[in-house]
Amino acid sequence: MKKKFLSILILGILLIGITGCGKSASGKNISDNLNKLIDSLEKESNDFEVSTIQKYFEKNSDYRLLAGQDEEFTEKPSSAENQYTYVQGNEQLINTNSLYALIYDTKSDKYYSISVTYFSYKPYFNEARELK
């Protein structure tokens, strides 16, 4: 009986190790998740205004689109008001001129700088880099 229990316990530990349980998402996984959300949004409404993307992310994921700019973000926001909310009503956060987006993952409580490429006004998120 003890051998059977020990065997099951060892198999469980090996399974957890193999599947990477507890492993944080990589920048590639985050960009893949964001692009899947954009593909779903395209099927539902084909509306890529910033406010629509922000609301869609908020409703369907743990990600929040906080800002966009021409240069890569190098540090996470310092003010508490930027930690969980985005600037409402500003369609210029991300547009065809913005090359980087600031993404907040509410589940892991991490911020990411992610480059954005546009194809006919549809954003494509490239690999994300965690901000420390």
Task: Encode pLDDT of 33-82 as tens digits.
Answer: 999 999 999 899 878 877 788 889 999 999 998 888 888 889 888 764 44
Q: What is the mean pLDDT of residues 89-103?
A: 62
Q: Which domain holds residue 61?
A: 25-131
In this prediction, what percent of the chain has a pLDDT beyond 70? 65
Q: What are the structure tokens assigned to 104, written together? A: 């907040």
Does a structural domain hold residue 46?
yes
Which of the pair, 68 or 16, is modelled with greater confidence?
68
Does a structural domain hold residue 18?
no
Does a structural domain hold residue 13?
no
How would residue 113 be classed by pLDDT, with cut points 50, 70 and 90?
very high
Does a structural domain hold residue 17?
no
Longest dimension (CA), the chain: 66
Does a structural domain hold residue 117?
yes
Does a structural domain hold residue 90?
yes
Split into its structural domains, the chain has a count of 1
Position 86: which residue type? Y
Does a structural domain hold residue 32?
yes
